Structure 1
Amino acid sequence: RVRAYVPYGKQWYPYFMRRLAERPANVAFLLRNLLRS
C-alpha cells in the first residue's frame, strides 16, 4: 500500500517549501524525478 499526502488550501505552498527545507535531500529527489519524466 502506498499513501500520498497532498497538501491543499490557502497555505499549501508555504507548507510545501517548509517541508522541502527540512530535508534538502528531498529537493534533489524531486528534481531528479522531474527531469526523468
Structure 2
Amino acid sequence: WYPSVTFEQGLAKTIDWFMDNQEWLNNVTSGDYQKYYEGQYK
C-alpha cells in the first residue's frame, strides 16, 4: 500500500475542505447536531 498523497498534501486538502465547509463545521460544533440526533433516537 502506498499513500496517494503526501502527508503535507493531505493536511492541506483537509484544511481547505474545512475552510470551504465552515457552515457544516459550525452546525456540527454548535450542539444543534447532537440535539437533533438525541431527538431522533429517543
Which TM-score band (shorter chain)? 0.3 to 0.5
Structure of larger gyration radius? 2
Q: Provide the TM-score with structure 1 as the length reference.
A: 0.40
Q: Select the structure with the greater relative contact order (CA < 8 A; seq sep ≥ 6).
A: 1
Looking at secondary structure, tell me which structure has more helix per residue: 2
